[in-house]
Structure 1
Amino acid sequence: MTDSRETFEARLRQVGAERYHDLHPFHDRLHGGHCTIDEVRAWVINRYYYQHSIPMKDAAFMSRVEDPDLRRAWRSRIEDHDGTDTNEGGIRRWLRLAEAVGLDTDYVASTRGVLPATKFAVDAYVRFVREKPLLEAVAASLTELFAPKIHANRIEGLLRSYDFANDAALSYFRNRLSEAPKDVAFGLKWVLDQADTQEKQDAAVAALTFKTDVLWAQLDALWAAYVDPARIPPGAWRPDEGLALKAAS
Structure 2
Amino acid sequence: MENRLRDLATARYHDHHPFNQRMHRGELSPDELRTWVANRFYYQWNIPVKDAHILAKLELPAMRRSWIRRIQDHDGVAGRDGGIERWLRLGEAVGLDRRELLAQRRLLPGARLAVDGYVNFCRNNSALEAVASSLTELCAPSIMLTRLETFPLHYPWIDDDGLSYFRDRVPQGRRDGSEALSWVKEWAVTRDQQDRALAALSFKCDVLWSLLDSVQGATREVTPR
How high is the TM-score relative to the length of structure 1? 0.87
Question: What residue number does 2:45 align with?
Answer: 52
State, as a whole percentage, how many aligned pairs show the same letter: 49
> Aligned partners of 1:192 and 1:74: how far apart in 2?
17
Instruction: Spell out the pairing of 1:64-79 with structure 2 (5 A cutoff).
Output: 64-79=57-72
Which of these residues, 145, 159, 162, is aligned with residue 152 of structure 2? 159
Shifted more, 155-164 versus 174-183: the winner is 155-164
Question: What residue number does 1:110 align with?
Answer: 103
Which of these residues, 188, 198, 201, is aligned with residue 191 of structure 2? 198
Which of these residues, 191, 197, 213, is aligned with residue 220 of structure 1? 213
Instruction: Give the counterpart letter for 1:113 in structure 2.
Output: R
Question: What residue number does 1:132 align with?
Answer: 125
Shifted more, 65-74 versus 145-154: the winner is 65-74
- Per-residue CA deviations over 1:88-115 (Å, capped at 9, x if unaligned) read 0000000001001111101101113201
Q: How many residues align?
A: 222
- Per-residue CA deviations over 1:51-101 (Å, capped at 9, x if unaligned) read 000001111221232321111110100000000123200000000010011
For residue 96 of structure 2, give the secondary structure of its aligned residue in structure 1.
coil
Q: Name stretches of at least 5 consecutive residues in structure 1 with no aligned partner.
A: 1-7, 230-249
For residue 111 of structure 1, give the secondary structure of its aligned residue in structure 2.
coil
For residue 168 of structure 2, give the secondary structure of its aligned residue in structure 1.
helix
Question: What residue number does 1:207 align with?
Answer: 200
Shift, 1:45, TM fit: 0.2
> Aligned partners of 1:71 and 1:213: how far apart in 2?
27
For residue 162 of structure 2, give the secondary structure of its aligned residue in structure 1.
coil
Instruction: Give the counterpart letter for 1:102 in structure 2.
Output: G
Question: What residue number does 2:91 align with?
Answer: 98
Shift, 1:132, TM fit: 0.3
For residue 196 of structure 1, give the secondary structure of its aligned residue in structure 2.
coil
- Per-residue CA deviations over 1:5-62 (Å, capped at 9, x if unaligned) read xxx0111011122110000011111111110000000000000000000001111221
Instruction: Give the counterpart letter for 2:119 in structure 1.
Output: V
Preserved contact between residue 32 and residue 219 of structure 2 (Cα < 8 Å): yes
- Per-residue CA deviations over 1:128-155 (Å, capped at 9, x if unaligned) read 0011010000000000001111111111
Question: What residue number does 2:3 align with?
Answer: 10
Shift, 1:227, TM fit: 2.1
The two structures, once aligned, show a CA RMSD in angstroms of 1.1
Q: For the pair shown, which has the larger CA radius of gyration, 1 or 2? A: 1
* 2:40 counterpart of 1:36: no
Preserved contact between residue 80 and residue 87 of structure 1 (Cα < 8 Å): no
Instruction: Give the counterpart letter for 2:85 in structure 1.
Output: R
* 2:150 counterpart of 1:150: no
For residue 63 of structure 1, give the secondary structure of its aligned residue in structure 2.
helix
Which 4+ residue blocks in structure 1 deviate beyond 3 angstroms? none
How high is the TM-score relative to the length of structure 2? 0.96
Flag the structure with higher helix content.
2
> Aligned partners of 2:186 and 2:166: how far apart in 1?
30
